[in-house]
Amino acid sequence: MKSEEKIRAIAFVSSYMEAWNLGDADGLLALMSPEVRYVDEAWQEEMTRDELAEELADYFASYQYHYELSGEVFCHGDRCAFQYCGKLTRPCGEELVLRGADFVTFRDGLALEIRDYYQQPEEKTERPDGEFGGQYLKSGMSREVMADLLAKIEEAMHRDQLYLDSSLSLPKLATYLGTSVNHVSQAINAGLQSNFFHFVNRSRVEAAATILEHGTPPYLSTTEIASEVGFNSTSTFYSAFQKVFGVTPGAYRREKNKLS
């Protein structure tokens, strides 16, 4: 028997996918909290509800598309995870395939955070059912096992904030999750199109960006912020931050202070 949490998560995903396929921006936004945080992990872009509304208007005008759920919906507490496959048609008639996974955090029945991981669109090719870019076969894990593990990894990083541990390693994360190093590595590589260090450092720089944006005088120094979010090296922090946001931490803080 399905739990109430699972039933609610399945209903959400069904309505969510239907709204995407209908090009119904209002229907999508109705499923989200006013404080929703939508994170496009492929482009390292974070959007508020209003910013997402503008993005949806552009997206719906640019493509013909159809999304389908791949596998089942996984639910744990106030979070759910699911994989999808989308078929997109450009105005020129070119067909593309988009494969991804969404991780949703709920509050009061509405989506408070949505993290969207996906591969960049590729030319449409036929693949056996359940294969994700060929890498599920290489990983040795089924689609369901990988999705479940990815949900646990996301929860460990964003709810439990394991990235704050400067000594966090792949074996340490695997032990925390009660699984093997190989499975964690394969899930991050194949499911998120990333590697362990980039994945962890992205979480750290996102936390640093929050401190830089919302901190009040006297401000923490860049070195202090780097240490606070789990970096052992200031140079590594600078490099990772610029890779995600395109500017130095100092420039990011100055820009946000101008806007506030």
pLDDT of residue 260: 62
Tell me, yes or no, whether 1 lies in a domain.
yes
Q: Among 125, 152, 172, where does a domain finish?
A: 125
**In this predicted model, what pLDDT tens digit does every residue of 132-151 receive, in sequence order?**
444 443 445 677 788 888 88
Q: How far is the C-alpha of 203 from the C-alpha of 225, rounded, in Å?
A: 13
Tell me, yes or no, whether 87 lies in a domain.
yes
Q: How far is the C-alpha of 209 from the C-alpha of 185, rounded, in Å?
A: 26
Domain that holds residue 235: 198-259
Same domain, 112 and 202: no
Same domain, 2 and 116: yes
Same domain, 85 and 204: no
Tell me, yes or no, whether 159 lies in a domain.
no
Tell me, yes or no, whether 146 lies in a domain.
no
pLDDT of residue 29: 93
Tell me, yes or no, whether 150 lies in a domain.
no
For the chain, which residues score pLDDT lower than 70? 1-2, 44, 90-92, 120-141, 260
Same domain, 96 and 208: no
**In this predicted model, what pLDDT tens digit does every residue of 27-65 receive, in sequence order?**
999 999 999 999 888 776 788 888 888 888 877 777 788
Same domain, 23 and 107: yes
pLDDT of residue 59: 78
What DSSP line would sit under 129-189, residue for residue?
A: TT-STTHHHHHT--HHHHHHHHHHHHHHHHTS-GGG-TT--HHHHHHHHTS-HHHHHHIII
How many distinct structural domains can be found in the chain?
Answer: 2
pLDDT of residue 141: 66
We report the CATH number of the domain holding residue 110 as: 3.10.450.50
Quick one: which of 158, 195, 190, 152 has its CA closest to 174? 152
Q: Among 125, 153, 169, where does a domain finish?
A: 125
Same domain, 93 and 203: no
Tell me, yes or no, whether 64 lies in a domain.
yes
Same domain, 5 and 121: yes
Q: Among 86, 107, 125, where does a domain finish?
A: 125
Tell me, yes or no, whether 144 lies in a domain.
no
Tell me, yes or no, whether 31 lies in a domain.
yes
Q: How far is the C-alpha of 118 from the C-alpha of 111, rounded, in Å?
A: 19
Same domain, 115 and 12: yes
Quick one: which of 136, 133, 154, 156 has its CA closest to 145? 136
Same domain, 105 and 220: no
Same domain, 104 and 207: no
